[in-house]
Each structure stands twice: as structure tokens, then as C-alpha cells.
Structure 1
Amino acid sequence: MLRDVYVKAGVIDTGSYLTTINELCDQLPALRPELLWYVTANLRSRVDLAGVTKVLVEEEKGAPIGVAFSLMSGLPLAMARHYPYDFPSPRVDFSSEYDRSTLHVNGIEAGDRVCIVDDTLSTGGTVSALIQAVERQGAKVEHFAVVVEKEGNGGRERLEGEFGIPVHSLLTVRITAGQVEFVEGIC
């Protein structure tokens, strides 16, 4: 089911990277509940959540998966948002393959043990920023669970090398001019 989504995905050039537009990440076409359930159940089965106290997700593309992961695991959901509130929350600047912005991390407290969930790992820019925000709160990231990894953009190497965070993914793809090539995965 997941491979089919990427077979049908459109490939665009962001100016720096090739990326896909698809049902899971962009809701084009609308995200089917059976796909969301399938992806989340498979992702959840890959991560040992013993000792994890919260799920953290960035509000944009990974939010549907993070919400479903929270429901499936029974863990509270923390959200990194692009806009602030009138109370202090950790703020972190990030740069990803398609965006440069600021995230405000809500719901993480000292002592939390966190699993970050997202749709795609490319450069690791967004996740690296979230890890830094979590650590500034006195909490620890235990796992990073992602549906799709883009090979060749350095994300896995960055997270495992720089932060020592295990990356759990369902599918690894290589995106070339106009097509998605499957490198490995269960789906």
C-alpha cells in the first residue's frame, strides 16, 4: 500500500532537492484512513516504547501520523508548532529541504523520554532542531520513527552520528529525475 503511494507520487524540484507530492505527506489525493492506519500500525510495531513518556510531532506533514501514533501507543502527544502563544515554549530555528522557519515546541517537560514521529526523513534538519529543543527542556529523545527515508540527503547519518538517535523507518527511497526508486522496506 505504501509503495503504491510513492509509485503514484509526483516528483518536483524544490530548487535544492527532488521531493514527492503524495497522499500520505500532502493529502493529494486525500489521505485514506486505511493507509494512515496501515502506516501507523507498521511504524508502531518497529519501535520499543518501553520507558517512552511522550510522542513529539511537527504540526505540518507528520501531524496525522503523529496523532495516530499517539492514539495507538496510548502516549501523550506534544506538538511543535510554527506559531507562538503568549506563554514561553522552547523555540528552535530549523532548515529542511523545503522550508526554513521557527518551531515552538509545546508539551515537553524535564525528565520526559520522547519518541519523535514524522512522515519523511531527508536532510534531518527538522528533527535535529526538535532534538535540540527537547534537550534544552531537560528531556531526552529515545527514538525517531519515520515512514519514509530519502537516501542520499544525509538525514540518517546526521541523526545517528551527531545525536546517537536510532532511526526506525518503513521505506527507503531514492528520488531521481521524475521517478521514485525503492531501496528497501517492508511495505
Structure 2
Amino acid sequence: MTRTVRDYIRTIADFPHEGIMFRDVTTLFADPRGFRMAIDQLLHPYAGIAIDKVAGLEARGFILGGAVAHQLSTGFVPVRKKGKLPGTVISEAYQLEYGEAVMELHDDAIVPGERVLIVDDLLATGGTAEAGIRLCRRLGAEVIGCAFVIDLPDLGGRARLEALGMPVHVLTAFEGD
């Protein structure tokens, strides 16, 4: 039987709160075949396309984005939670279910005109990815798309990003939770 990326993802019930089915990609990362499969599939649509930087969203997007950037022979930039980057940054606030969060990017991480791919493990509501897109665009980037291992389509993130004109590439989806 041929395994898929989805087969390497563990589901943990009631984490971090009761009623949540947490999709854990650490089991995917820990398996060399699964991890290689995920990276190959994430970058496949972008092979042969000019990309200057991969922007990885904190935190698992750093792992995936770094590997994708390596395979594409391009640069990597981290999009981090507020207060985690040491240099001069630009910030972008976005809404959470209860409150607000802020993502940051070094103000010199991207040169105007560079083509950037956004990478993360999970697409839920799309708020973090939208903040990453806005940060990259504020620095003059052309964001060419977003790639995720998992989509939770019921939470509407894909539609939110597509409404911004973003092509969205996902490896697997978990409906209903």
C-alpha cells in the first residue's frame, strides 16, 4: 500500500482544548520518507518558476519553508511572532478567535520586486498567512502563492487567501474539524 502525506500525520483528540482534533505534523517530520514526500509535494508546483525567497510562518513553517527554500536554491525569511526578531521590523496585526496577534518581518528581509512563496504547515482561518502576505507585500514583494501541508476547509482560510488573489497549494485536507 502506497502511503500519502496524510498517513504520517497524527491526530490528537482534545488538544489544546476539549473538542479540538489537533493535526500533529511532528510525526510527519520525524519520518524521513514522509518528510521528503511532504517537501517534494510542497515544492512541486513551483519547480521551474522564478522564486527569490521562501517565507516560513512561525513555527513549523520554518522547518518546511527552510527545506523548500533549500530544494529551490533560494533564500529563506522567517515571519515571526511579535518580539522574536532582533533587528528592525515591520509588524502586521491580525484577528484571532479571541483577541489579536502580531506577526513581524525584518524590514530588510525582502528587496522590492522579489518573488516570494509563503509556506506553513496548517491553513485554518488564514489569519497568520494573510499577515505574512501583507508583510511581504509591504516590502515590495510579489507573493506568488501559499503552500501548506494541511487545510482545514471548514474554517475558511483557503477562501480568505484566494480572495486576496493568492494561489493556494495544499497536500491534504481534514474536513469537519
* TM-score bracket, shorter-length normalisation: 0.7 to 0.9
Shift in alpha-carbon separation, 1:14–1:76, aligned structure 2, 3 A: same
Q: Partner amino acid for 1:88?
A: T
Name the count of aligned residue pairs.
171
Match of 1:108 among 107, 110, 115: 110
**1:131-164 deviation line (CA, Å, top 9, x unaligned):** 1111111112111111111111111111111x10
Question: Mind listing any 5+ residue stretches in structure 2 that lack a counterpart?
Answer: none
After TM superposition, the runs of 4+ consecutive aligned structure 1 residues lying more than 3 A away are 13-19, 84-87, 95-100
2:78 maps to 79
Paired with 1:16 and 1:125, the residues of 2 have a C-alpha distance of 22
Unaligned runs of 5+ in 1: 177-187
TM-score (ref. length: structure 1): 0.79
The 5 Å alignment of 1:44-123 reads: 44-48=43-47, 50-82=49-81, 83-85=83-85, 87-96=87-96, 100-106=100-106, 107-123=109-125
> Secondary structure of the residue that 1:108 maps to in structure 2?
coil
* Percent of aligned pairs with the same amino acid: 26
Deviation at 1:86, TM superposition (A): 5.1
Q: State the TM-score, normalizing by the size of structure 2.
A: 0.83
- Tell me how far 1:18 sits from its aligned partner: 3.2
The alpha-carbon deviation at position 51 of structure 1 amounts to 2.5
Distance 2:53 2:134 in 1: 16
**Aligned-partner Cα distance in 1 for 2:15–2:167:** 29
Hey, what does 1:164 align to over in structure 2? 165
Q: Distance in 1 between matches of 2:133 and 2:88?
A: 18
Q: 1:9·1:21 contact (CA, 8 Å) conserved in 2?
A: yes
